[in-house]
Structures are given as structure tokens and as C-alpha cells.
Amino acid sequence: MNERPHTSRATEPLHASRHCFASPRFADESAVLADAYRLLDDAVIRYEGRPVGTMASLDPRAPADNYRDCFVRDFVSSAFLMLLEGRSDVVREFLAMILRMRGQQEELEGQQIAPGVLPASFRVITLDDGSEQLSADFGDRAIGRVAPVDSMMWWAVLLRAYVHFTGDTAFAHTPEVQRGLRMILSLCLQSRFEVFPTLLVPDGSFMIDRRMGVNGHPLEIQALFDMTLRAADLLTRDEGSLWLIDLAARRREVMRDYVRRYYWLDLDVLNEVHRYSTEKFGHDVDNVFNIYPESIPDWVPDWLPDDGGYFVGNLGPGRIDFRFFSQGNFLTTLSGMSTPEQAAMQMQTVADRWDDLIGQMPAKLVYPAVQGVEWRLMTGSDPKNVAWSYHNGGNWPVLIWPMVAASLVAGRQDLGERAYRVAERRLMKDNWPEYYDGRHGRLIGRRANLDQVWSATGLLLARHLLESPDSLARLGLSEDDHKASAAGSED
């Protein structure tokens, strides 16, 4: 069978409203924005004539074949953009189609796929007779067979954004969507062996989709989990769902408190950890996870700013992963999972450690990189994840939008503007790389794709947010009691 991935045949551009920005903010900005829209239009995937997603990359030399797929997580920035620009029909089609794909594929290699699991990516295949077929990857074909836990979470976040933005509750109330949402929430909330309210996941189950020591309770998953639980407000309050709505609300409350309390690191907390007594049994102990002070990495005491703080990357028995993960931190602030004080201190850390976290391209995926023996043990000697590259300390342009979003929520628009300018200066000139290398992100990633679509949509979305901060509340992303929503929305 001759299977050809269906690339865009976009004759008419998707974005009729491409001139929707009031005026250029910076010199040469219009050319950059126009080029970003060009990339987005070229990346559109159509099914039966209708746009349903965007390819991850248009680079013909991309190292893996599935970069031509539409990844759920990659599509999210395109989708927010489409909502803001009057193409909610595409987002609705995408949401419905992902559920249909889930319905078509109940089994993988003889095993049941857990209800609620959604694909990492999909593509449209054109068969010899001209008919089209959808083909999804649930992690069964992905490099390393990683489980895309974040797909169902991003789907729920996007569904909520769609409904908030358009008011189309009728869509949310269709039996398919209700069933999908119930499956997702039930899967996240099922009884487990664990005693923590956070969610336990395998390595590489989100944006960092390779072995990187992010198994356990990584921050980004907890932030997305929080936003997923919030989507329980879309369930209809009938008999069959009340228990789930209630369970989601209770878990969310407990988990938020837990993350705020135990993931938070500032100088006071570090001093406590530095002087922790260990091996304590019982309910009333300070060092509940039995963290050995000796496990504090050398870089932490010098790097942590006096007036800043951040959420650590992971937490479990005897384990704090002290690394700063940008996406997790920015999402906690965006969603209001961090308190306003924590949000402000997190942004102060970004300001005080600008070169490390933003540098020459916003933003560093994780700081710092692991090297040497640690790199060998943690990554399995992954040459793509060598120090200060790719997932191991590379700078990812797509992170500009969560960075800008967090800056707005925390009342630090100045930082968002500054980061935007850094990104805007380089991205088009460098042909929209997937990531950058080096301590400060000066080099285009050695194995990075060019024409990486979320590098362009991330910038466009950031631009929208800077121009209209109330978009965050209109998309149901920020907490109502936070500054960004208070600033401009009736939401």
C-alpha cells in the first residue's frame, strides 16, 4: 500500500485576519509576523477538505518521520491562535477528531489502551484510491515508546479554552465530549498505590519526551493536571457525574496546597533543607520526604536569588529535583496554581537570572544541564540530549508564550516584552528553529529542525497576549482572581 502523509494543499490561507495586530511594536516586526503566518498556513493539515491540525515541522530534513504529524501538544499554540483569530471551527474539528481517533482504536498490540489516553500525534494518509485515512500514534510508534500523558491534559485545557472563548457549551455537552472528559478525569483520579495528591507518570511523558529523569511527579505534569481538573466544570451535573466533579474539586484543592507548600524553593526554604534533620517518623515532621541535605546540588545556593524563588522540578521520597523547568513554572503561574507572591518571586528569578533562563532565546527548557556521569545515567547516554542542547538545557522558542503569559499574570509585562523582543529578533532570520544550544542559547540547535511550527505560533500567540492581556481570561487560562483577568476581562 502506498501511504503518503497528507501535506497541506492550502490554496487559500487559513488566516484571513492575518493583519489583526493593531500596529507593529518593534522595527521590522511586520515581516516577522507575516513569515510566521506563512509557516502556519503551510503547515495546515486537511482531512476531507477541512483544516484539522498543523504539522510539527516543515523541514524536509527533520530527523524523524513523525515531525510531519500533528502533535496534540504542538497544536495547542496554533489552536489558541485560531480561537483568537476567528477560526474556532478548526479547533472544534480537532477536538472532535481526536476523540473519534480514540474511539476507533481501543486496542494496541493486543493490549487495551486505558480509557482516557489520547494520541501523541496523528496524520492523514492518502491511499492509492484517493481516500483518506487517519493514523494515530498513542506512543506505540514514538521513539522510545514514551507515553503521551500530557495529550489528554492539553486536550482538556483546549476544550475549556474553546468553550470559554466561544460560549459553545452545546459542544461540551455532546455525549462524545462528556464521555471523553469523564474518561480523562477518571483515569487521572483513579485509586493508586500513592500517598501524594500529585500524579505519578513515567519518564518522557510530556514535552520532554525522552529519558531525562522526569519520571515520578514532574512539575509540568502537575501544572497540566491542575488545569485538567479545572475542566471538570464542563461536566454536566447529572447523577452519574456528580461524584467525579466532587472528586476533581477536592483533589485539585489538596494538590494545589501541596505543590505550593512542598515544591516551592526560596532562600528560607533552602536554609531549612540545608539544616534538615533526617530519618524522622510520624505525622509532625518537617522533613516529610526525608531529604538529605547532602543532596542539594552545588549550584543551588549560589544561583537562587535573594528575592526570588521557583517550583522545583520533581519531588518524591528522598528526592528533590532542584532543576528549574520553565514550562512547569510558567504554567503554574498562568493557571493561578502559584500564589500571587510565588508568581512574583518566580518572575523575579527570571529577571535576576535572565542570562541563564532567557539568554539569547526565550526560554531555557531546564536549567542547568546535566553532564558527565550524571548525563550518562540520567539520559542513557543520549547524544541528542548532551549538555546545553535539546531537552537538556536547550532554549525552546515555543516557551515564549507561556513565559509571556506568566509575566502578565504576575504583573511583570516588562519581562514578557523584553523576552518577546529577544525572540522576535532572531527567529525568522534563523528560519524558525525548534531549539537553540549553548548556555545562553546563542547557537541554533545542532540537530534542530528548521521551520518548526510551534516556534512560529508561540511567537504569534505571545504577540496576541502582549497586545490583549485579557485574552488569557477569555481563553479560560488564568484564574479569575489573578491580575491578568482583573486587568481587562469581564470573564
> Which residues contribute to the site for ligand GLC (CB under 6 A)?
56, 71, 73-74, 207, 209
Closest contact distance (angstroms) between CB of 391 and ligand GLC is 6
Cα dihedral value 226, 228, 231, 236, nearest 10: -120
Contact 195, 293 (CB under 8 A): no
| Whole-angstrom distance, CA of residue 220 vs CA of residue 207 | 9
Cα 90 versus chain centre, distance: 20
For residue 456, the minimal CB distance to ligand GLC (Å) is: 12
Stretch (H or E) spanning 124: strand 121-126
449/249 Cα distance (integer angstroms): 41
Smallest separation, CB 91 to ligand GLC (Å): 18
| 122 close to 69: Cβ distance less than 8 angstroms | yes
> Which residues on neighbouring strands pair with residue 389, listed in sequence order?
392, 393
Closer residue to ligand GLC in complex, CB, 33/62: 62
User: Rounded to the nearest whole angstrom, what is the least distance from the CB of residue 56 to ligand GLC in the complex?
Assistant: 4
For ligand GLC, the closer of residues 134 and 365 by Cβ is 365
Kindly state the smallest distance separating residue 68's Cβ from ligand GLC, in Å.
10
Cα separation, 83 vs 162, whole angstroms: 7
C-alpha span between 198 and 222 (Å, rounded): 6
CB of 22 to ligand GLC, least distance (A): 31
- Residue number with CB closer to ligand GLC (150 or 424): 150
Instruction: Give 15 or 73: the residue with its C-beta nearer to ligand GLC.
Output: 73
Task: Report the C-alpha gap between 78 and 68 in whole angstroms.
Answer: 15
- Select from 127, 184, 198 the least CA-distant residue to 154: 184
> Which residue is nearest to ligand GLC, using beta carbons?
56
Comparing CB distances to ligand GLC, the nearer of 328 and 336 is 328
- Say how many residues make up the chain: 491
Residue closer to ligand GLC (CB basis): 322 or 396: 396
Cβ neighbours of residue 57 closer than 8 Å, sequence gap 6 or more: 67, 68, 434, 449, 450, 451, 452, 453
- Closer CB to ligand GLC, 385 or 485, in the complex: 385
Beta strands in 339-438 (DSSP E): 366-367, 436-437
DSSP structural state of residue 6: -
Element (H, E) at 134: strand 132-137
Cis check: omega of the bond before 383, within 30 degrees of 0: no
Rounded to the nearest whole angstrom, what is the least distance from the CB of residue 182 to ligand GLC in the complex?
26
For the bound state, the minimum distance from the C-beta of residue 74 to ligand GLC, rounded and expressed in Å, comes to 5
CB of 222 to ligand GLC, least distance (A): 17
Q: Which is nearer to ligand GLC, 52 or 448 (CB)?
A: 448
- Nearest approach in angstroms of CB 373 to ligand GLC is 24
Given the complex with ligand GLC, which of 321 and 382 has the nearer CB atom?
382
**CA–CA separation, 103 and 294 (whole Å):** 49
Other beta carbons within 10 angstroms of residue 353's beta carbon come to 19
Residue number with CB closer to ligand GLC (171 or 324): 324
